[in-house]
Every structure is written in structure tokens, then in C-alpha cells.
Structure 1
Amino acid sequence: MVKEDIKILLIEDDEDDAFLVKEYLSEVKNFACKLDWEPNPEQGKAKILTRQYDLFLIDFYLGKSTGLSIIDFITENQILTPAILLTGRNDAQLDVDASMAGAFDYLVKGDLRADILERSIRYSIKQARVIRELDEKEKKYRSLFERSLDSIFLANSKLEMLELNDSFLDFFGYKSSDLNKLHLRDLFLSDEDFERCVELLHTTELVKDFEVILVTKDGLPKTCIFNCVFIPDQADDFCCYQGIIRDLTLWKKAELDMMVAEKLSMTGKLARTIAHEIRNPLTNLNLALDNLKEEIPQQEEQFILYTDIIQRSSNRIETLIGDLLNSSKPKELKLELSSLHEILDDILELVRDRAKLKGIRIKEELEEELPRIFVDREKLSIALVNILLNGVEAIEHEQGLLTVKTEIKGGSIFLSIGDNGQGIEKEDLKKIFDPFYTSKSEGTGLGLTSTLNILSSHNASMQVNSKVGIGTVFEVEFPLPEY
């Protein structure tokens, strides 16, 4: 049988003991041992750092130094080579201390024989190889965990966070020191979504491709794909949940921007088609009405009644066509550096009177200082007034409240305008920006279409959240320039 070659470093300051160890090693049957004896502990440390040995044999008493201090040195330098501690006396506490320090075995010199030493070497090398394999796997998976672009977390059975990767910390705005205070619930915007995830984890131990709104530490909503799986372990203390979160915010924003652009494009085509197909016969109708007025005596009251009705209806059609064209065509902006708060002050004065007539209170929660942004004050004012008036008209009760809030989050200014009105049904929420869609008896359904067009021209985006019976919130995001 071919013997396995192993290279051993013996750190021993007693020459006689070193000679005995060498003799015992020569009698070992299953290993071809090459011994390097070093009596100086400091020189021994230097040789340890070369990482060229398969095993360390270390005496406990080394003058001013001890074998435990050398084993501590091995551990501190993350050297996985096994170390066996040699001592001249049998001491149970020393055995425990050696094990705690990281020694693979503890041998008493007075009891030492070739077979005992061989058994200890075989055991230590085998254990070291297992540890080395585990270490390599741990480093491999640790690298995947730490370098992943997706947010990854580990949580215990109570869904309290155990570990977070750097992408998670960066994405959600937390620090490593927040780990012990963070619960999975803190990531969810909606209690309903969180409870749905918990139910799936308890029943199927898996949540797969769940699209959900999560929130950062600063309260910034993020559209994400949430995956989580239960990882069982024989020891209950090590059972945990592993989750992977992928950010869809930019993708969703791009998708929304594309839908808005397509909607405005379709609206523009519809408007131009209507203008072309209706204005020609409308012009003929007006010309015929003018000729009719010239031919029939004006003093006939019934004639005047009917011609006025025709004229008003014709003018109304012309106005609607003009409004539709204006709501859909790209806006030519006159940009100037402006304060959003100043714009809000001006338009709230316009809305306040109508709100007072309905007994509606306006609450302002404005960030103390906001950077100025380039906007067309007149057109942006029109868009924001449309949103505010929609909020006022949605409230039909005596405890009406309109909330206007500004804040900076994630490199953008967010303006939210919320009401505690009747709310909007989920199926209707997708239609509110469509031309001619309105729930008002006297509305044209073009106000929000025009608002969306103006905001898109400013590179601003808008989201609407609403619950029937609770109210509606319009949130406008103005991205700040990157410097």
C-alpha cells in the first residue's frame, strides 16, 4: 500500500521530546512523515504562515509563549491546517481549553506511542479535510450571497432578519446595525400582502414570483418580485426562511411610460381624426345656418329659438374638438427654475374657496426646503389644479379633508394630493386618464388626460392609489437632476 506523504511542523523547545516525537513518527505505518522541527516559537509562527505543512505538532510549554497562543495565531490567520497540542501533564481543563482554542487533538507526552500518534494524525487530517471542503463551499455560497445584484435575506421562524446581503442594504437603505431590529413585516407596504405571504409560507413553505409593493427604510415604495422559501434543518434553531427580492421599479416605470406614450399617441390620432371628420361637416352646417338666417325673417321667435340651439350646439362641438386636440398634443414648455411650494401656494388659493363652500379642510404637510426645479409654471399649475379639483369634487361628506404633501425620497421630489372621498373602483382606476372618461354629469373627461400629458412633458410620472369608501391619492414624482 502506498503511504500518504505528509509534511509536519513540530514546534518544541525540548530537544529530547523532539527526538522522541521523531522516533514515534518513524514507526507510523500509514503515513510517510517528513518532520520539520522548530524550537523557537516566533520562528515557528513564521513557518506556519508559509502554509506548506499538512499538520502542526505544538508543545504546550514554550518558554514565555504557550501552545494555546500559537493555536490562536493559526486561527487568527485563517489557516485550516490541523494542530495537535502536546503536553507533559494530563489536565482536563487544559484539554477543554485546547479544544476551545481550535486544537484538533490533545496528547499527553507520557502516554504517547506510535499507534496513538498515528491515530491522532489520521483523525486530525481527515477532520481538517472535511472542514476545508466546508470552508470552500461556504466561501463559494458566501460569494454568491454577497455579490448578488438581487436583495437576499435570511430570516428565522419568527420572520426576524438573521442576515442581509449588501444589495439588500443598499436597495432598502438599511445599515448592518439595523439587522437585529428588522422584521419581514417592515418591508411590506400593505398588511394584506404581508399576511398573504405568511399564509403561503405556513401552508406551502414557498412564495414564488409574487409581485408586490415593498418600502425602503425612508418609506419609498418599490415594485418588486418577492420569492421566499423555508429551509428546514434537523436542529430547529437553524431552520430559516431565505428570500430573494428583485427590483421591478424601473422596469415598471418604463412600462408605464410606454403605456402613457401609447395612450397619448392614440388620443392624438383620435383627436386629429375627429377634427378632420367632424370639422368639415360642421363648417358646412355653420355656413348653411348663416345662409338660412339671411333668407328667413329674423322677427320670427320660433326661428330664432331653433337657430340659437343649432349655433350653441355647433360651438360646443367645436370647443370639445379643440379641448381634445389640446389635451393630447405634446406641450411646448416655457421652462424656468421655480419653487414647487410657491406654485402650490398660488393654486391652493384658487382651490380654497371652492373647498370652503363644501366644508372641506385642506391640510398641508410640506417639506421645509425643496430644491427648485425647471417647470412651465402656467402649464404645471393647470395640471395640479385639475388634480386638486378632482379631489374636492370626490368628497361628498361633512368631514372632507384634502391633504397636500411634499417630500424628497430617493433623488426625487414627491408631491401627493389625497382626499378622503368616495374612492375609485379598481376596474375604473385604469380608465381615469382615457379621453372622455368621466364620472361627472357635466364633465368632458379630458381634464386628467391633459394633466397626464402636461406631467409627461415635464418628465414627471404619476401614480394613483384608491380605495372605495376611503379615498384617493395622486402621487407625482419629479426626478431631480444628477450632479
Structure 2
Amino acid sequence: MLVEEIKILLIEDDEDDAFLVKEYLSDVKNFVCVLDWEANPERGKVKILEGKYDLFLIDFYLGKSTGLSIIDFIQKNQILTPAILLTGRNDAQIDVDASMAGAFDYLVKGDLRPDILERSIRYSIKQSRIIRELDEKEKKYRSLFERSLDCIFLANSDYSMLELNDSFLDFFGYKPSQNSLLHLRDIFANQEDFEYCVEQLKVHEVVKDFEVVLLTKDREPKDCLFNCVFIPDQADDFCCYQGIIRDLTFRKRAEREMMVAEKLSMTGKLARTIAHEIRNPLTNLNLALDNLKEEISDREEDSILYTDIIQRSSNRIETLIGDLLNSSKPKELQLELSSLHRILDDVLELVRDRAKLRGIRIAEELEEELPRIFVDREKLSIALVNILINGIEAIEHAEGLLSVQTELRGSSIFLVIADNGQGIAKEDLKKIFDPFYTSKSEGTGLGLTSTLNILSSHNASIQVSSTVGVGTRFEIEFPLPMH
């Protein structure tokens, strides 16, 4: 059976005491002690840093310094090798100080015996190995926590944040010093979503793969996948919840762009089918109507009245077919490098009188010196006018406000048009770009379909959020050309 070898550094300035310790160690039976004695504390520190020892035995009184200063040196250098403090007198305060400093044990020289020394060494090394294993695991999981590309947070039982990893801070725009000031509810765009998560944690102790809109510090909405789990048996001042948040913004954007492309494609096919199926009988109807008019004399006023009604209705159907085709087919753009602000100036001038008549105030918050973008000025103006007029017509109270905001975020220009009108019900929000969908008593319901088509042709994306009784918000993103 192999006997374990223990390498020990003894820092002791008294030669006689050093000799006694060596004798005691030679009588230890369950392991072999290899002792290196150092009388000079400063040289002892150098040897400590070499990292070749399993245990340190340190005298309390070392000339001008004390063993506590050596143990403090060990702690500051994050050395996990155990240290046992030796002293010539039994002093309860020294025992407390040694424990507080980080000593694994405290032995009185006058009480030393081989069995006492052996037991202390065995206990200290065992505890040291446990601490080392925990430290390695802590470093491993700390590395996973800090280097994770996903946002990770730790929160207490009140859902106040205790710790946030760098990805969380970068993604949400917070500083490390703001950890303790942040509450989990602060990052939720909708209070109902936060309450749902709290309820799930209380009942099931887990929230899994919950797709939700979260807010950055600057109140920018982000599509995210939220996971959170309850951690039982934690101290009151430690974490009770661990959460992982994954950014779905780009995936959701790709999904939306795919849906828009499919919607426009289906709309185009539908429009061409309707145009073909309706125009043929409509042409026959117009030919028959022309022949009928030739058979009717000018004195048959009632007949002329009815033929005029038929003619106007026929023309109306032809116009609707043309509008439907124009709203759905890809736009041929005449691109030019333009200032979005100049386009907005022209567009707002077109709708300003209509807003003034309804008592609606237009507020502009435009970021200075935005880069110019390649757009078809005429077609983009049509799209923006459609959105602005929809906003104006949605406001039916005296405190009407239509806000227009531009902002440069990363490599895109964002245009936000918001109103404080009647809002759109959640179930209707997905339909607003569909052909012929409208909540107005008059109108074709093709304006926003055309708007979506124009923006898609510009490689611009549009998102709409709305709350009934509060208002509607259109956010348009114009990606800047890559250099």
C-alpha cells in the first residue's frame, strides 16, 4: 500500500521550535512528511508563490511581522493551499483572528503531539481539496455565466436582480453598477407577460421557451425567448431564480419578412386571378351597355339614368381592379440618394392642413444629420402619406397628437409614426395590411397593402403595435447600405 507524501513548508524563525516540529512530523504514521524549513518570512513568501507545497505551517510571531500577515498574503494571491498557524501561547483572540484571516487550523506549540499534528494536517488537506474542487467548479460555471452569448440573470425571491452577465448588460444597455437597481418587471414590455411568468414560477417553478417582447434600458422592444427556473434551498439573501434570455430579434425579423413576401405573393396571384376573371365579363358588360345606349332615345330619361348607374359602377369595378393590381405587384423604383428628413418635410406639408382641421397637433423629433438613403422619393412619399392619414383619421378626440420621430440605431435608420387615436384590437392588428381590410365606412382597404409593398420594395421593414384606447405605433426600419 502506497503511503501518501505530503510536502510541507514551515515558516519558523526559531530553530529549536523548527527542530521539534520536524521531530513530531517524523513520528506521523499515516503519511510521509517532506519538510522544507524557512526562517525568513520574505523568502517564505517567495517559496509560497512557487506552488509546490501541499501545506503551510506558519509561526505566529516572526520578528517584526506575524503569521497573520503571511496568511493574508496567501489569501490575496488566491492560493488555495491550506495554512496552519502555530503559536507559543493559547489565546482565544489569536484563534479568532487566525480563523478570520483564513487559517485552516490553530495549534499551540506546548500542546503539540504527533497525533494532534497529524489530525490537523489530515483535516486541513481534506478541507482544502474540497474547497479546491468547489473553486474549480465555481470557475467553470462562472466562465459559462460570463462568456455565454445568451443573457443570464440571477434574481432573489422578490425578483430583484442580483447578478447579470456581460451579455445581459450589453443587450439591455445597463451598467454593472445598476444590477441592484433593476427589477425583473422592468425589462417586460407588457405587465401581463411579467405576471404570467411570476404565476408560472409560483405554480410550476419554471418558465420554459416563453416568446415575449422585452425592453432595453432605452425602451427599445426586443423579441426574446425567456426561460427561468426556481432554485430551491437558497439563503434569503442569495438567488432564488436563474434565467436565460435569448435574442430572437433577427429570427423574428426574418420570419416577418418571409411572411410579408408570401403575403404579397399571394395577394399578387389573387389580384391577377380576380382581374382576369372579372375583366372578361366586365368587358362584355361594357360592350352590351354601349349597344344598349345606342338603342335608347334621348327622351327615355329613366333608361338613361339606369345606364349611367351601370356605367359608373362598371368604371368603379375597373378602378378597384387597377388599384388591387397596383397595390400588390412589385414596384419598379427610381432610386436616388435622398434625405429622409426632406421627404418627411414634403409629406407632412401634404397632411398638415387635414390634421389642423381636426385639431391634431403634429410633433417632430428628428435626429440631426442622418445619412442619406437610396429611395424612390415619389413612391416612399405615397407610403408615408398612407400611414399619416390613417393616424389622423384614427384620432377622434380634442387632444389629438401625431408624432414623427427618426433615430439612427446601429446600421439602420428608424422612422416611428405614432398617434394617440382609438387604437387597433389585437385580433385585427394582423389584418391591417391585407387587401380590402378597412375599418372605415369609405375606402378600398388597399392603402396599407400598397404601403407594405412599397416598403418591401425598398428592403425596409415595418412593425405595428397598438393598444385600444391608447393609440397605434408604426416603426419603419431603413437598413443603410453596407460599405
- Structure 1 vs Structure 2: percent identity of aligned residues? 84
Alignment of 1:441-456 (within 5 A): 441-456=441-456
Q: CA RMSD in A?
A: 2.1
Partner of 1:426: 426
Q: Deviation digits for residues 430-449 of structure 1, max 9, x if unmatched?
A: 11111111122221111000
Secondary structure, counterpart of 1:348 in structure 2: helix
Alignment of 1:207-226 (within 5 A): 207-226=207-226
Displacement after TM superposition at 1:66 (Å): 3.2
Partner of 1:371: 371
The residue type equivalent to 1:143 in the other structure is S
Displacement after TM superposition at 1:236 (Å): 2.6
Partner of 1:359: 359
Alignment of 1:78-477 (within 5 A): 78-233=78-233, 235-294=235-294, 296-297=296-297, 300-477=300-477
Displacement after TM superposition at 1:222 (Å): 0.5
Alignment of 1:20-59 (within 5 A): 20-59=20-59
* In 1: Cα distance, 2:215 partner to 2:458 partner: 26
Secondary structure, counterpart of 2:268 in structure 1: helix
User: Which has the larger displacement, 181-190 or 2-11?
Assistant: 2-11
2:296/2:304 contact within 8 Å kept? no
The residue type equivalent to 1:390 in the other structure is N
Displacement after TM superposition at 1:296 (Å): 4.8
Displacement after TM superposition at 1:170 (Å): 1.5
1:220/1:409 contact within 8 Å kept? no
The residue type equivalent to 1:405 in the other structure is Q
* In 2: Cα distance, 1:271 partner to 1:25 partner: 96
Displacement after TM superposition at 1:96 (Å): 2.3
Secondary structure, counterpart of 1:448 in structure 2: helix
* In 2: Cα distance, 1:298 partner to 1:410 partner: 70
Secondary structure, counterpart of 2:475 in structure 1: strand
* In 1: Cα distance, 2:298 partner to 2:64 partner: 126
Displacement after TM superposition at 1:65 (Å): 4.0
Q: Deviation digits for residues 17-72 of structure 1, max 9, x if unmatched?
A: 22111100011121211112223333323322232211111223334443223222
Q: Deviation digits for residues 366-423 of structure 1, max 9, x if unmatched?
A: 3344333222211111111101111122222333222222333454332222222222
User: Which has the larger displacement, 334-343 or 425-434?
Assistant: 334-343
* In 2: Cα distance, 1:199 partner to 1:481 partner: 45
User: Which has the larger displacement, 277-286 or 29-38?
Assistant: 277-286
- TM-score (normalizing by structure 2): 0.94
2:234/2:240 contact within 8 Å kept? no
The residue type equivalent to 2:238 in the other structure is F
* In 2: Cα distance, 1:239 partner to 1:182 partner: 14
Displacement after TM superposition at 1:219 (Å): 1.5
Q: Deviation digits for residues 177-221 of structure 1, max 9, x if unmatched?
A: 221222212211122222332333344433222221101112110
Secondary structure, counterpart of 1:43 in structure 2: helix
* In 2: Cα distance, 1:235 partner to 1:393 partner: 57
Mark the runs of 5 or more structure 2 residues left unpaired by the alignment: none
Secondary structure, counterpart of 1:157 in structure 2: coil
User: Which has the larger displacement, 358-367 or 105-114?
Assistant: 358-367
Displacement after TM superposition at 1:120 (Å): 1.0
1:58/1:83 contact within 8 Å kept? yes
* In 1: Cα distance, 2:432 partner to 2:239 partner: 48
The residue type equivalent to 1:193 in the other structure is D
From the superposition, tell whether residues 368 and 191 of structure 1 become closer, same or farther in structure 2 (CA, over 3 Å). Answer: farther
User: Which has the larger displacement, 23-32 or 61-70?
Assistant: 61-70
2:400/2:420 contact within 8 Å kept? yes
* In 1: Cα distance, 2:93 partner to 2:374 partner: 75
May I ask how many residue pairs the two structures share in their alignment?
483
The residue type equivalent to 1:101 in the other structure is A
1:220/1:410 contact within 8 Å kept? no
User: Which has the larger displacement, 101-110 or 253-262?
Assistant: 101-110
Secondary structure, counterpart of 2:84 in structure 1: strand
Q: Deviation digits for residues 122-164 of structure 1, max 9, x if unmatched?
A: 1101110111111121112112212222111011222221111
Displacement after TM superposition at 1:82 (Å): 0.6
* In 1: Cα distance, 2:477 partner to 2:400 partner: 25
Partner of 1:18: 18
- TM-score (normalizing by structure 1): 0.94
Secondary structure, counterpart of 1:237 in structure 2: coil
The residue type equivalent to 1:6 in the other structure is I
Secondary structure, counterpart of 2:237 in structure 1: helix
Q: Deviation digits for residues 210-257 of structure 1, max 9, x if unmatched?
A: 221101112110011212222122533335211111111111111111
From the superposition, tell whether residues 367 and 125 of structure 1 become closer, same or farther in structure 2 (CA, over 3 Å). Answer: same
Displacement after TM superposition at 1:295 (Å): 5.3
* In 2: Cα distance, 1:327 partner to 1:378 partner: 15
The residue type equivalent to 2:381 in the other structure is S
2:380/2:454 contact within 8 Å kept? yes
